[in-house]
Amino acid sequence: TGSSLFVGKVPLTTTRTAARKYLLKDPTHWGTETRDAKNKEQENFARGTKFTSTTNKWGNGAVSSRASAAVDAQYGVVQTLDFYKKTFGRKGIKNNGKGARAMVHFGNQVANAFWDSVCDCMLYGDGDGDMFKKPLVVLDVTGHELTHGVVDATARLEPTFVDGDGNQYGEPGSLNESLADIFGSNVEFSANNPKNPPNYLIGEKLGLDQKFLRRLDQPSQDVLEGAIDYWSPETYYTEVHAGSGVSSHAYYLLAEGSGQKRIGAVTYDSPTYDGAAVKGIGRAKATKIYYRALTRYMVSTTDFHDARLATMKAARDLYGRDSVEFKTVIRSWAAVNVTA
Ligand code: ASN
Ligand code: ZN
């Protein structure tokens, strides 16, 4: 049993070691393991400190217990692997039957979380104590970051430019961020934990003043990064967490349709470029289409117009070219100003 920071008590599968101890490593998920970076900017997973326990009870739900953040991380990684396996038959982040690794307490007051392709693992900062008050180990952030790992192993979408501060720009990079948010939200729906109600918001559990980091129905509601709702020629130069709005919005419209809609505890309101309505085909089908497009048709330079074609091909494969699904894909992109 783990006592987490964000989702209460959760069951975890752990490993019994020779010395009558338990290790925070899950043999039912290809040895998925979480370690402690000990507040160093440590990117070598092997040098992280293992979490062990004699009681097989992990954390106490408080930030002061180092294992509590590890419980959220391990839970989130396992939920993400389960989502990819049960939805698409994907066996691990790289689809190679290997577990995923995570390190919590990365660096000193780091207000971010990363998929790191050097250590091939997840790195979670503890937050800066100001905007981010707790470690960034919530479920949709984990789903987001691990999806960067999936993109790394498939289309490898790359930023068009990177500036001196490491900020990334351009459409393929924006599409990468968007896919991370799309599948990150789907991880929440898949886990369906009442302590973490699923929705199309990203980072709503982080305790931010502005309530969420990003949202898919109307990306421009994000006050932090200034995401965009519609494509324009300038999107070529847009920062990737802002440009992500274009395809996140198209995906939401495909799944749920335009206008006001209440799902669970959240009311969504999704506008369209031309003001005409879009009728959604449902989240499950929309997600299948985007996954097939990512894994079969997208490449490192895929921009939004290419992404339209990639999702059209995926929808045609899955549902046929006369289908409502195929037509709604075209309609959803037109509604974000991406046309032939
Ligand atoms: N959390 C950020 C992201 O995944 C980290 C970064 O900017 N690379 O987009
Ligand atoms: Zn990202």
What is the C-alpha to C-alpha distance for residues 331 and 340, in angstroms, rounded to an integer? 11
pLDDT tens for residues 89-119?
Answer: 999 999 999 999 999 999 999 999 999 988 9
8 A C-beta contact, residue 178 and residue 242: no
Task: Looking at 124-209, list the stretches that DSSP marks H as alpha helix, in order from N- to C-terminal side.
Answer: 139-153, 171-191
The domain made up of 138-340 has a fold known as Neutral Protease; domain 2 (1.10.390)
Decide whether any atom of ligand 1 lies within 6 Å of the 177 Cβ: yes
Ligand 1 atom with least separation from CA of 112: 1
pLDDT at position 252, please? 99
Report how far Cα 257 is from the mean position of its chain's Cα atoms. 21
SS3 59: coil
Please confirm, yes or no, whether 105 is among the known catalytic residues. Answer: no
pLDDT at position 138, please? 98
pLDDT tens for residues 199-227?
Answer: 999 999 999 999 999 999 999 999 888 99
In this structure, what token pair is assigned to residue 238? 């847009």
Ligand 1 atom with least separation from CA of 241: 9
Nearest CA to ligand 1 atom 6: 114
Decide whether any atom of ligand 1 lies within 6 Å of the 30 Cβ: no
8 A C-beta contact, residue 38 and residue 103: no
SS3 339: coil
Please confirm, yes or no, whether 225 is among the known catalytic residues. Answer: no
Torsion angle of C-alpha atoms 252, 254, 256, 260, degrees rounded to 10: 70
Which neighbouring-strand residues pair with 115?
122
* Active-site position among 145, 177, 239, 325: 145
8 A C-beta contact, residue 325 and residue 289: yes
pLDDT at position 223, please? 84
The DSSP output letter for 137 is -
Q: What is the mean pLDDT, run by run of 10 residues, along the chain of 340 residues? A: 98 92 98 98 95 97 97 98 98 97 98 93 97 97 98 98 97 98 98 98 95 97 94 98 98 98 97 97 98 98 98 98 98 98
In this structure, what token pair is assigned to residue 259? 């206008």
SS3 58: strand
Nearest to 152 by CA among 309, 4, 273, 298: 298
Decide whether any atom of ligand 1 lies within 6 Å of the 112 Cβ: yes
Q: Where do the structural domains in the chain lie, given as residue ranges?
A: 1-136, 138-340
Q: Which residues contact 194 (CB under 8 A, 6 or more apart)?
A: none
Nearest CA to ligand 1 atom 7: 114
* Active-site position among 29, 105, 144, 241: 241
Decide whether any atom of ligand 1 lies within 6 Å of the 181 Cβ: no
In this structure, what token pair is assigned to residue 183? 């599948």
In 10 A of CB 133, how many CB atoms?
A: 14
Domain boundaries 1-136, corresponding CATH code? 3.10.170.10
Compute, in angstroms, the gap from residue 53 CA to the centroid of ligand 2.
33
Ligand 1 atom with least separation from CA of 168: 7
pLDDT at position 20, please? 85
In 10 A of CB 209, how many CB atoms?
A: 7
pLDDT at position 120, please? 87
